Amino acid sequence: MPGYPFWLSFTEGAKFDDSLQKEIFSVYHKNAIDIDGGDLHEIQKTCFNQSIACYLGCIEKSKERSGYTLYCSLVYINKLGEIKSVHRKLVPTYEERLVWGNGDGNGLKTHELEEFIVGGLNCWENWMPLSRTALYAQGENLHVAVWPGSDYNTKDITRFIARESRSYVISASSILNIEEIDPKIPGYDIILKNAPAILANGGSCIAKPNGDWLIEPMINQKALIFAALDVSKIAKERQNFDPVGHYSRPDVLSINLNSERQKILNK
């Protein structure tokens, strides 16, 4: 399950027609997830067997877009093991544009989960106000934000989204130390020489609907985080502010969502 392309920052990722960049990308592509090809079946079965829902971040390759362009995708699997949405990150951030394609609005959906309505976004698109609003407008009251791994990202935006939306916000953020990098990866010696000891320090956390911490960012700790969420607290906080309800003015301000999956060939 390939994750974030950290190598770009340490191996001259923008070097055009570079043999090392091609080699690394080839390995990255080989390990990317073909959802239609069944690469997530084992995880789907686990969700079904354990009766749990899952938001899963992965690198996706899609045959409907040639199979060679990669997407930073967030997949929602329900408690029946069914894939209900695949959200491709709308705009890769900075160096990410060297390896990922632009996503679309097809996966900007929310899902019913017990008493909650859950939605999610990838990394810096959590900072995109219209993307957030599109989920709020679909009833979202539990927001999942996934990150490559840094409290620099999670310590501010997690609480901000919670306070803005009056929803619970879960930030899932990874940890990666340099000794965990596989020596078999092309360019390993260069990465080892240029990368810091800690590439991603975590920062996973949960914020309450009033913006306070339920679980503060966990730094340099690998752990399973459990928390009980009280759905009644959402209504209490929306009593005085509901960003797409009584505290909106659709006659003055509104957004359009194009939820079509982008294709080069329409039949």
**Chain segment 69-121, per-residue pLDDT in tens:** 999 999 999 999 999 999 999 999 999 999 999 999 999 999 999 999 999 99
Average pLDDT, integer, range 149-166: 96
Angle at 202 between CA 129 and CA 87, to 5 degrees: 40
CB atoms within 10 A of CB 253: 8
Average pLDDT, integer, range 138-155: 96
Checking if the pLDDT of 160 tops 90, the result is yes
pLDDT class for 1, splitting at 50, 70, 90?
confident
Supply φ then ψ for residue 18, to 5 degrees: -85, 135
Rounded to whole angstroms, the Cα distance separating 221 from 204 reads 9
pLDDT class for 266, splitting at 50, 70, 90?
confident
Average pLDDT, integer, range 212-225: 95
